[in-house]
Amino acid sequence: MFELTNEQLGDEIQRLAAHIDAAICEWLGMVAEFDRREVWVEWGMASTAQWLAWRCSLAPGTSREHVRVARALEGLPLVRAAFARGELSFSKVCAITRMEHVVEEQELLELAQYATAAQLERMVSAYRGVTRAEAERIIESRYLTLDQNDDGSWMVRGRLPAEDGALLARALEAGREAATTAEDVSAETSVRMPLSERNADALVVLADSLLANGPRERTAGDRYQVVVHVDTAALVEEEDVAPSDGARCDLADAPIARETARRLCCDAGIVPILERGGSTLSVGRKTRAIPPSIRRALEARDGRCQFPGCTCSRWLDAHHIEHWARGGQTDLQNLVQLCRRHHRLVHEGGWKLERGRDGKIVFLTPYGARMHELPRRSRGDCTGMLAAQQRDGIAPAANATVPGWLGDSLDLGYAVDALLSFTDTPDPYAFPRKRPPDDEPGALEATG
């Protein structure tokens, strides 16, 4: 296969790269159409990105980026055409699609073909940094994640706006001083410790101080004090069966579906009330549907929502596979953790959940299709892909992906000015208004 000269091998690598980019463009077009049709809803997913992460074995961040690019390409026909011909790499397209309100697409395309991917990324980053919209986007993109490694240690990753980052830096500075004082470490010893280690100690001090004085996270059943009045008969009856006479099922005197009541009672505090003729005779002691000891074991076993493709690990509900009102046991074999969204799907959405003989959870769609935790990928065929592209007239030139840059220095300021001229960014201080309704000719409704 590799009986080629060095030059021929390099040419083949470049040629195949161009064909791969063309195939990615076609694939992104399908992703955009899939997203437009909202097919992901049929599979119980929260978005196209979540479906891609599950079905195509992509990391969540990677799948979100692909969906973003697929949507943005719909408004950039010239860029999309060059991408489909293999003349633009996916890296360059990712950078281009982060620009909004492009009005000079041809000039932008020429610049992208001339620059290297690294240069284009740097240009777009600098361009976004001088716009007010980017400042708002930075605030919206703030995050902090905690991931536990196999050895039990924790990895902390995050992104904060400038002012919040400065606040955290000040807090860590105070935490470093507190950690030094608490452990009776001399100033000389503290200085010799790497700053990263002292920051880690300071973060622990901040967390310990908050937990000592602030609120603690409560379990799913205690987050809200919502009273549901439901008779045991209503929990046992099927949804498609007419309710029994007098079988109460309401929330604050508003009737709710029996399946909704079953979901709320999956993981809740139960207060038995004895009534006769509509009058309350006695009220029993509140008990937990799931005892704390079993809840802790469930959290240790599952750790996240067990729905295929879902990575949610916070604010989880404990779901009875066979509802306790129908005789299901409150034990680990009959319990599973689900996020709030997928808990609703299992109850009100018509999904079915059962445990197989091997002990694994099986999810069935309302149409009876079986969900797989790890879908099997079909075997790829590079030769077939190349043949199909040739039939479609896609034949990238030998230097299709080679930039026009010849080694001259990058004038970043000039490049940013050029990008600003290619776009028509709306005035961020404008105050757009809707047309007044016909029945209120003098009214104006703000939309900003």
Task: Kindly report, residue by residue over 191-203, the tens digit of the pLDDT.
Answer: 567 888 888 888 8
Does position 357 have pLDDT exceeding 90, yes or no?
no
- Reply yes or no on whether the pLDDT at 60 is more than 50: yes
The more confident residue out of 292 and 438 is 292
pLDDT of residue 436: 39
Neighbours of 413 (CB within 10 A): 9
Q: Which residue has the higher pLDDT, 13 or 426?
A: 13
pLDDT of residue 80: 92
By the 10 Å C-beta count (0-12 exposed, 13-18 middle, 19+ buried), 389 is classed as buried
Predicted pLDDT of residue 433: 39
Amino acid in position 116: T
Does residue 440 carry a pLDDT above 50? no
**H or E segment at 269?**
strand 269-270
pTM surpassing 0.75? no
The predicted pLDDT at position 430 comes to 43
Which is it for strands 335-339 and 316-320: parallel, antiparallel or unpaired? Answer: antiparallel
**Size (the chain), residues:** 448
Task: Using pLDDT thresholds of 50, 70 and 90, give the confidence band for residue 4.
Answer: confident
Distance CA 315, CA 223 (A): 9
pLDDT on residue 177: 79
Look-up: residue for tokens 């969900």?
371
Which pLDDT does position 34 carry in this prediction?
A: 94
Tens-place pLDDT, residues 369-401? 887 665 565 555 666 777 777 777 777 776 666
User: What gap in Å lies between CA 67 and CA 243, rounded to an integer?
Assistant: 45
Residue 338 β-bridge partners: 317
pLDDT given for residue 28 in this prediction: 94
